[in-house]
Amino acid sequence: MAIPSFRRFIYDVFLSFRGEDTRYGFTSYLYKALCDRGVRTFIDDEELQSGEEITPALQKAIEESRIAIVVLSHNYASSSFCLDELATILHCKSKGLLVIPVFYKVDPSNVRHQKGSYEEALAKHQKRFKGQEEKLDKWKMALREVADLSGYHLGDGEYQYKFIEDIVKRVSKEIKRALKEPVGLILWNMYKGMDLILWNMYKGMTTQVPLQNMAQVVLQMLSLIVQKGSSINQYIFRDFVTK
């Protein structure tokens, strides 16, 4: 019997954004609002975006996050770094990562069809990465895919604080749902596993599950339950305090 593997989350949210557009404005406000709500949020250092491709550390942070919020701003596509990051995020989406796009003062259709500043940015990348059609196609596909996801569109003349409040509420709701659902499933699987061993012991048979492996399973499950249980209580407590 193989020991079940559980995806361990270090962060609740990974923020993807174009530094020169929103680091000291919208993204910093969103980051603070998430942190104030108790959401464990990853935001990269300025130096990490200076390279051409995402670092292994950033890729690991994406893989260890429950949710990725992609802030699609005017110059997002001008950065090959951001486009690589977006492609990685959407790859992780197939493994369960929830992706929430935020169209910050850009038309979602411009992102989807690569028009306006997105068309200009990709034209420059076409020249710069000549002969690397696979990379360019991956970026275009990623932009189309993220533009088709359910997200938020902030236009000119809208209040950012209200917009950010809506995002934080959704994130909190998604996290609480993710934290609560697996606990019952884990307990049920633990019950079935222990039931199998006890039944085989009762019949005087040699169990097919080595006790050493079963101990690891139980410890892993208990650890996850404690981790998730404390997180659930933390969210419930915050909800009670803020009401």
Would you place residue 194 in the very low, low, confident or very high pLDDT band (cuts 50, 70, 90)?
low
Predicted local distance difference test score (pLDDT) of residue 199 = 53
Q: Which residue has the higher pLDDT, 128 or 226?
A: 128
Q: Range with the lowest mean pLDDT among 4-8, 49-53, 89-93, 154-158? A: 4-8
Tokens matching residue 66: 């429950």
Query: What is the average pLDDT score of the chain?
Result: 81
- Given a cut of 60, whether residue 229 has pLDDT beyond it is no
| Separation between Cα atoms, residue 82 and residue 17, nearest integer Å | 7
Q: Which residue has the higher pLDDT, 81 or 208?
A: 81
Would you place residue 223 in the very low, low, confident or very high pLDDT band (cuts 50, 70, 90)?
low
| Separation between Cα atoms, residue 229 and residue 235, nearest integer Å | 10
Residue 73 phi/psi, 5° resolution? Answer: -110, -175
| Separation between Cα atoms, residue 44 and residue 47, nearest integer Å | 8
* Closest-CA residue to 102 (of 111, 94, 93): 111
Identified catalytic residue from 85, 133, 158, 165: 85
- Given a cut of 60, whether residue 179 has pLDDT beyond it is yes
Task: For residue 85, indicate whether it is catalytic.
Answer: yes
Cα–Cα distances in angstroms (integers) from residue 17 to residues 44, 78, 167, in the given order:
9, 12, 15
- Given a cut of 60, whether residue 214 has pLDDT beyond it is no
| Separation between Cα atoms, residue 120 and residue 170, nearest integer Å | 33
Predicted local distance difference test score (pLDDT) of residue 5 = 40
Predicted local distance difference test score (pLDDT) of residue 62 = 96
Which segments of 13-79 does DSSP mark as H helices, in order?
19-22, 26-36, 56-63
Three-state DSSP at 12 gives strand
Instruction: Encode pLDDT of 88-119 as tens digits.
Output: 999 999 999 999 999 999 999 999 999 999 99
- For residues 138-168, one letter each, b for 16 or more C-beta atoms within 10 angstroms of the residue's C-beta and e for the rest, the string is bbbebbebbbeeebbebeeeeeeeebbeebb
Contacts of 68 (CB under 8 A, 6+ apart): 13, 14, 15, 16, 62, 89, 92, 93, 97, 98, 99, 100
